[in-house]
Structure 1
Amino acid sequence: MQEGIDKSKILEIVRKQLSIDMNCNTEDFDKGEIVFSESKLNKGRRMFDRQSPFLEIATMGKSVVVTADRDILVKIKPLLENKTREDIFVAPFIFGHSLYYIPDCKRLKKLPLPNGFEFCLKEGKEIHELYKILGFENALQYDINHPRPDVIALYATCGSEIVAMAGASADSNLMWQIGIDVIPKFRNKGLATSLVSNLAIMIMEQGVVPYYGAASSNIASQSVAYRSGFTPTWMCTYKNTFDGTAPYDGNIK
């Protein structure tokens, strides 16, 4: 792995990235309080599509940082400013939570593929060749013009068939996100763990922080993260209900 990248350095980079994304200060995540910030499209942010109106809430375990468009922020601040962290994350105007993981440098290591499988690697524009093969939507963007382009794809083959793939998207200059897909009949063989751990090491060797996201309800994906040598580091909301796209919005009304 890249020398100089240890847990403290990784956490420093994560705080920096989140502070850019959420338009706050890096130290806000360690204050142990609720921090409110008006949202802003800062340079260097992770290039995700933003829901409109925009609201996102995140915690690294101490503070809760709330960022939102100005007209939303003035309405929700009085509702949240005296709430506990747990109460904030079940507020009725948000739905869905994601857990995010970074490498545990003491546990992350190169792992061999199970017998009968082989590693294959593609980088940069080589990855576009894989777009003709469907079924790996968590690992690949399938879009040569995507704002978070695919940068590395490490996959496993069984004979001539691609059966599992881990891909990394360049979400920002600081952090690349790993996604994994395994064809159903090849699951529970250790393929996901091997691919994710080895891809993470490749990313760190380039001096970039790899990270892994999973919905809070996706236990299988969280297990892959743990077995691959990752540790949970922050949590954030997935969407808000202000635009009427919540799955039960019509039922509630």
Structure 2
Amino acid sequence: MEFNKSKMIEIVRKQLAIDMNCNIQDFIKDGIVFCEAKSNEGRRMFDRQSPFLEIATMGKSTVVSADSDILTKVKPLLETKTREDIFVAPFLFGHSLYYIPDCDRIKKISPPDGFTFHIKEGKEIHKLYKIPGFENAIQYDINHPCPDTLVIYAMYGYEIVAMAGASADSSLMWQIGIDVLPKFRNKGLATTLVSNLAIMIMDRGIVPYYGTASSNIPSQSVAYRSGFIPTWMCSYKNTFDGTAPYELICPNINTILKDNLK
């Protein structure tokens, strides 16, 4: 399949519509769209928080997908809000930004001087699981519901120093992750590996995508330099019991804050 921007955007809308149980056209409407969540066939096989709520936008409408009991509670809170106000709702925490290739900018790039690139596919990737330090690039789990499908890695001498991997999140879209060992960063490895991996994925008729936290500026820079463009944003997790996410790792956070802010 030969890709262009319009074709890839169309596939992203289709995938998000499957994931969120809405219509493809809902992402090009104005305003807010509310829909009841459902585990549709073909969805990206991520673990879903229970109760489930996810909010996404591709730049126009804001689509809110949630379990029915949650939907009835959040709809009155959100239906009059702007997109920006919705994404700072107190029951959300964390935002993820997602990118797809810009067909006019992305290109194959040769390895930087002194490095060699190598490729593994399918079960060959399992051999890399014995090498720690590349948790963003590969799953380290042969039974993962989003299996590793394609990896390109850089070697310096006899050492693997950087790795970009693709996970088969669905039949339509594969997600790219990247890791570079600290002492080999800022040498162009991340940009080069991500660009080349994305092209290899597109050659297979699959849309590659790249995700990062909204606060991760270095990762966003890699996406841009690799020839990717921002395409959608979604909520990361939620909390409905009045607790803050930090309470999971710091149970006394509220006491600490009160004492320190007196």
- TM class by smaller structure: over 0.9
Displacement of 1:113 in angstroms is: 1.3
Task: Give the one of 140, 146, 149 matched to 1:148.
Answer: 146
Q: Residue deviations 1:174-209, cap 9 Å, x none? A: 000000000000000000000000000000000000
2:171 corresponds to which letter in structure 1? Answer: N
Taking structure 1 as the reference length, what is the TM-score of the superposition? 0.97
Output aligned runs, 1:118-197, within 5 Å: 118-197=116-195
Which residue identity does 2:49 align to in structure 1? Q
For 1:150, the aligned partner's letter is D
Q: Deviations over 1:23-68 (max 9, x none)?
A: 0000000001100011100000000000111110000000000001
Question: CA offsets per residue over residues 6-36 of structure 1, 9 Å max, x none?
Answer: 1100000000000000000000000011000
Partner amino acid, structure 1, of 2:109: L
1:66 to 64, 67, 71: 64
Where does structure 2 lack aligned partners over 5 or more consecutive residues? Answer: 256-262
Instruction: Tell me the distance in 2 between the aligned counterparts of 1:169 and 1:230.
Output: 18
Residue 102 of structure 1: aligned partner:
100
Structure 2: distance between partners of 1:113 and 1:94: 41
- State the shift of 1:242 in Å: 2.3
Give the structure 1 partner of residue 38 of structure 2: 40
Aligned mates of 1:213, 1:113 — CA distance in 2: 23
Counterpart in the other structure of 1:239: 237
CA distance in 2, matches of 1:122, 1:110: 18
Amino acid at match of 2:246: P
Partner of 2:209: 211
The alpha carbon displacement at 1:246 in A equals: 1.4
Instruction: Give per-residue Cα distances to partners, 1:74-107, cap 9 Å, x unaligned.
Output: 0000000000000000000000000000000000
Change (3 A) 1:252 1:41: farther
- 74, 77, 82: which one pairs with 1:79? 77
- Give the alignment partner of residue 18 of structure 2, picking from 17, 20, 43: 20
Secondary structure at 1:247 match in 2 = helix
Q: If you compute each CA radius of gyration, which structure gives the higher value, 1 or 2?
A: 2
Name 2:259's counterpart in structure 1: none
SS in 2 for 1:86: helix
Displacement of 1:112 in angstroms is 1.2
Q: Which runs of 4+ in 1 moved over 6 A?
A: none
Q: What is the CA–CA distance in structure 2 between the aligned matches of 1:142 and 1:32, rounded to whole Å?
A: 41
Which residue number corresponds to residue 196 of structure 2? Answer: 198
Distance 1:25 1:86 in 2: 22
Cα displacement string for residues 106-153 of structure 1 (whole angstroms, at most 9, x for unaligned residues): 000001111000000000000000000010000000000100000001
CA distance in 2, matches of 1:186, 1:237: 32
Alignment length (residue pairs)? 251
Q: Where does residue 114 of structure 1 map in the other structure?
A: 112
Q: Distance in 2 between matches of 1:64 and 1:195?
A: 33
Partner amino acid, structure 2, of 1:29: F
